[in-house]
């Protein structure tokens, strides 16, 4: 199965910081990568698909980049509502796989 490795696993930051999360794929996934935000006890919410396309309604401080095997989610000017766990997912091949998650904590 295609493996996705996120780094870091935990990230401590302050409101107003700019943070980046990396997702590396074990094989080429082209642009078929998504990013989700999950808060405790809630379902994940899609933020970005096709590596860099922001879902309508998602704040512009979220951005995605990358192609092939290396991808980045960047959150500019971190807001209190952004403290959550973030997952990447590849959807180019079966089975769809997710990264292990990155928890963004308040410093």
Of 60 and 94, nearer to other proteins (C-beta) is 94
Tokens representing 16?
Answer: 């107003």
Of 82 and 89, nearer to other proteins (C-beta) is 89
Rounded to a whole number of angstroms, the minimum distance from the CB of residue 36 to other proteins is 8
* Other C-beta atoms lying within 10 Å of the C-beta of residue 31: 15
For the chain, give me the number of helices (H) and strands (E)?
Answer: 0, 11
Asked if residue 97 binds other proteins (CB under 8 A), the reply is yes
Of 20 and 92, nearer to other proteins (C-beta) is 92
Distance (Å, rounded) from C-alpha 55 to C-alpha 43?
Answer: 16
Cα 97–chain centre separation: 13
Residues that bind other proteins (CB under 8 A): 32, 34, 36, 42-46, 49-50, 55, 87, 89, 91-92, 94-101
């Amino acid at each position: 199965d295609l493996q996705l490795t996120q780094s870091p696993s935990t990230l401590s930051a302050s409101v107003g910081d700019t943070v980046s999360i990396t997702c590396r794929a074990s094989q080429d996934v082209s642009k078929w990568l998504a990013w989700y935000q999950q808060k405790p006890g809630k379902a994940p919410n899609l933020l970005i698909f096709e590596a860099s396309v922001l879902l309508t309604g998602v704040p512009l401080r979220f951005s995605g980049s990358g192609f092939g095997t290396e991808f980045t989610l960047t959150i500019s000017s971190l807001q209190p509502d952004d403290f959550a766990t973030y997952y990447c997912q590849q959807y180019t091949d079966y089975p769809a796989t997710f990264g292990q998650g990155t928890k963004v904590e308040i410093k």
